[in-house]
Amino acid sequence: MPFPLALFLPIENLQRPNPFQPPAATLQFAPSRQFDLQHVVVRLDVDPKNRIFAGTSSNLVSPLRAGLTELKLNAGEKLQISAVTVDGKTATFRRSGSDMFVKVIPTIVGKPMTITAKYSSEKAIGSGFGGGEGGWHWIRTDEKDPTRVGFWTQGESLYNRNWAVTWDYPNDFTTSETYTTVPKDWTVVGNGIMADEAVVGTRKTVHWKMSQKHATYLLSLVGGPFDVKKESWNAKELWYVVPKGMGNLIDDSFGDTKDMLSFFSSRFGTMYPWPKYAQNAMYDFGGGMENVSSTTLGMGSLTDKRSGFYTMSSLNAHELAHQWWGDLVSCKDWGHTWLNESGATFSQALYFEHARGKYAYQREMEGNMQGYFAESRRYKRPLATNLYTHPDNMFDSHSYPKGAVVLHTMRNWLGDDAFFAGVKRYFAVGGFGPVESSDLCRAQTESSGTNMAQFFDQWVYKPGHPVLEYSWSYDGVAKSVRIKVDQTQATDDGTPVYDLKADVLVIAGGKLSRSQIVFNTKTAELGFESTVAPDAVILDPDHSFLREMKHTFGAMELSAVAEFAPNCVDRNSALMQFLGDTANESKVKFAERLLRADQGMFPAFESTSKLIGFRIQASRDFFRSELKHKSESRRRDAVNGIVGIGLQAEDRTAIRALVNGTEMYSVVVAAINALDPKLDVEVLRKALMIPSRNDRIKKAAERRLER
């Protein structure tokens, strides 16, 4: 399920009631099962003109208990059920809320029966994510755009019952089929493989079949007049599906899909498990949803290459990772949602580490920490909990960013080899079935030989996080450094005093040395040798575990941290503090030296805004060199830096050259804003003709010419 990861929550969100606090929150558990759901077949006839769908759902069930005379399925309250049969014979049924109870002959354990419900849903009108008949959404029409029609479904958490009568809870996996009748010029994409497509007159029926077991909330259909591109990867079909007329955005939006599939299959030690993968970009949808083998995405995320480096990668990687974390294995009950969402969020950062380097991974983890910390000021809860108001409440900044950093913590606790061996075992043992947090604990324990029970107890089953404060001193006579660490988190809400191990990095004269401190008390002290006085001491220099660090580097430490710290978050923070608010020639030269050495496409320092603000002539050569930096944001900053100093003839020529049809939009727009409407009128007029997504360049040029 999609999640907008923000670093800070609005004030009104901090003031909202806590959905995990009684009496609103109650203990909830997976419902008991009367049967094993073995196969579900959904047949729908879709009437887009009248916004009606009608059809049947057939559920092959194998009773788990003998002598039952009534079986329960889930059916949305707005579905009009006209008939129910059991093995083809008419059966009586009753309804209570979203449950349907069907009379059956006394059950025999293991003797299957097929329960079929006939139903319709009339005048379903929905808006936004998950709108309409709960799990069924008719795309909002636009008289000016006849292609803006169609539908999509959304099952998580309890919404597929509103278009398919079935067992709608993730503690039972099943195989499935869908037959969907639509206008013949439409495309329908469902789970598994397309088994058949039959045209009769102006209509066609599309048959999708999933032969591997999955949770029913992952059933999916999208339909409409789409642009579709198909490829293959390792003999598996790839479908890229976008609204009609947007096919030109497919390659730039999904061009790294094959690399993601290869990376995740290798990193998880488990080949992509499904027969195909479709990515369906839909109108009215927000974020993404990991329907098994057929992800639904918001069309607003579609992009082109000049908008940035694969700007859709974060969303795409998250949803693709779900095909393992959440689809191959899925939480047995919604209290263990973190297994799905944390796994996908963590994996998205893993992919960035692979495709963009260590600094990108570090920034993702920092963003995850800050996103969770913002929510933790409103409430704290265990990652795994059965105390909540509704399953949808579980999709919060605990299940996504906090859990992602807990997996990052686990990775560093065990080491890569042991951790990913545990991930491989988790998928191998639990694959194609529901799991709980204990299953991941067991997989990591059995693969590594390290008893992970205590780790899960403090990081998964208890609320909160460590809050650390530390100080250090140097004894020149004894030639030793002493560090004192305090865990200052409040523990009256169940947050523990953590069992931690953390590296301590000493920077002295440009040389780096490490020691490790292990502690499980409120206060810990450690001493170690150092022949010279340190320039800086950093606790947990790699940000290797979830923690809130209440520490400010001293003035004498800042330059050393900015230059030598292994984590770019510390380097950026230290450099900003080191530069201060007033230009200082020696400090500026120091910063420029670090920045000149930082030339990657995804650099440690993404911004030079501090130097821009100083507006000093001595930085002109630096900003001129930055115009050719590999990083889009650094090139954009370079334009703004030169503008702040004042354009010379050489600068004007260089900035004019950036107004072209290949440079990134943000850089082109910065260049346009830097030009003079009178001196550079021809360049600005040329910009009016440069094509860009949503006319971004044209609009910038128009605004500039109006000045």
Whole-prediction pTM value? 0.96
- pLDDT-derived band at 602 (thresholds 50, 70, 90) equals very high
Tens digit of pLDDT for each residue in 458-468? 999 999 999 99
Predicted local confidence at residue 124, as pLDDT: 54
- DSSP element (H, E) containing 642: helix 632-645
Say what the pLDDT of residue 12 is.
Answer: 45
The DSSP H or E segment spanning 117 is strand 113-121
**Does residue 402 have a pLDDT over 50?**
yes
pLDDT category of residue 17 using cuts at 50, 70 and 90: confident
Q: Residue 10: which pLDDT band, with cuts at 50, 70 and 90? A: very low
pLDDT at res. 19: 94
Predicted pLDDT at 147 = 85
Element spanning 454, H or E: helix 453-459
Q: Is the pLDDT of residue 500 over 80?
A: yes
Span 356-381, average pLDDT: 98
Report CA 478 to chain centroid distance, whole Å. 50
CA distance 68 to 61: 13
Nearest to 167 by CA among 53, 75, 104, 103: 75
Residue 142 is classified by DSSP as: B
Task: Read off the pLDDT of each residue in 273-293 and give the average, rounded to a whole number.
Answer: 97
* pLDDT of the residue at 134: 64
Mean pLDDT for 551-575 is 97
Query: What is the pLDDT, as a whole number, of residue 22?
Result: 95
Q: C-alpha distances in angstroms, 183 versus 154, 200, 203, 469? A: 21, 10, 5, 64
The average pLDDT across 620-645 equals 98
pLDDT above 60: residue 13: no
How does pLDDT run across 307-342, given as a tens digit for each residue?
999 999 999 999 999 999 999 999 999 999 999 999
449 backbone dihedrals φ, ψ, rounded to 5°: 80, -5
- Tell me the per-residue pLDDT of 444-454, one tens digit each, with 9 for 90 and over: 999 999 999 99
User: Dihedral sign, CA of 359, 364, 365, 370?
Assistant: positive
pLDDT at 525 over 90: yes
Report how far residue 406's alpha carbon sits from residue 425's, in angstroms, rounded to the nearest whole number.
Answer: 19
Structure tokens at 356: 């963009």
Instruction: Over range 687-702, report the average pLDDT.
Output: 97
Rounded to the nearest integer, the mean pLDDT of the chain is 95
Of 253, 435, 252, 454, residue with least CA distance to 343? 435
What confidence score (pLDDT) does residue 329 get? Answer: 98
Q: Tens digits of per-residue pLDDT, 66-113?
A: 999 999 999 999 999 999 999 999 999 999 999 999 999 999 999 999
d(C-alpha 563, C-alpha 568), whole Å: 10
pLDDT score of 146: 86
How does strand 548-549 pair with strand 226-233? unpaired
The span from the CA of 623 to the CA of 631, in Å, is: 13
- Asked if the model's pLDDT at residue 685 lies above 50, the reply is yes
If residue 651 lies in a helix (H) or strand (E), which one and from where to where? Answer: helix 649-657
Cα angle for residues 200, 206, 210 (degrees, 5° grid) = 155
The residues pairing with 183 across neighbouring beta strands, listed in sequence order, are 203
Q: Collapse the DSSP code of 37 into the 3-class scheme (helix H, G, I; strand E, B; otherwise coil) and give the result.
A: strand
pLDDT for the residue numbered 5:
40
Percentage of residues in the chain having pLDDT higher than 70: 96
CA–CA dist 394, 19 (Å, integer): 9
pLDDT of residue 25: 96
Q: For the segment 164-203, what is each residue's pLDDT rounded down to a tens digit?
A: 999 999 999 999 999 999 999 999 999 999 999 999 999 9
Taking CA atoms, 111 is separated from 324, 507, 701, in Å, by: 32, 71, 72
| pLDDT higher than threshold 60 for residue 128 | no
